[in-house]
Structure 1
Amino acid sequence: MDELINRIATAAGIEQDVAREAIAIILKFLKKDGPDEQMQKVLSALPGAEELIAEKEAASGGGGLLGGLSGMMPGMGAMGALNELTSAGLGMDEVQTVVRQLVSFAKEKAGDDVVDEVISQIPGLSQIV
């Protein structure tokens, strides 16, 4: 996970703790909204990913209003994740850089087909990548 955190922090020009938080937010969102089988392959290929998600879930509690709504309404998960990312201090350019770097890294570790399947199953994600 350190390799990914360093890579994202450097590419996005953000602190490592912000990069770690952003990765946790995105992985939590993908685990919840992505196709289970492919996401399990992705998470298995990223050592420390499950632990990072668990830490995020424990720290975030209910996830605020948008986090709560995202659990009730399909398609709201992306908005909730974006809200969390901007609350963590990221601008849209930084969000795109983080997402692109995370996707690139995941493809290196889990394979293009698996990651592309995840992306294709989440509305709007392909526009960011």
Structure 2
Amino acid sequence: MPPRTCPCGLPAPYRDCCGRFHRGEAAPATAEQLMRSRFSAFGVGDEAYLLRTWHPSARPPRLDLDRRVRWVRLEVLESTGGSVVHTEGTVRFRAHYLERGKPGEMEEHSRFVRLDGRWVYAGALNG
């Protein structure tokens, strides 16, 4: 059963926020929306959405999400470009998780590009 509140951190129900992207009813309009929807996909275990929104040049052949990791909170730290008028953008974020009940976090500066009019994850930036 999907969560009631969206895992991405915005104050909206999952079904109306990232759930609509996961179901294919809409596409994220900005790089940050895509990044948030990908975080939510990790949270709900939607491997197909993660693969679908990964740039083909960097996409792994498959994903095996670790079910012992529960993604619990997202902080967007910074974003550049990535609006409805851009073709590239970056989002730096901190993702909080629980692994076997122990809290952890990871930080990434991600790059996003438009491919055929849709935002896709192009990988992590160095530094």
- TM-score normalised per structure 2: 0.29
The structure with higher relative contact order (CA 8 Å, sep 6+) is 1
Q: Which has the higher strand share?
A: 2
TM-score where L is the length of structure 1: 0.29
More helix by share: 1
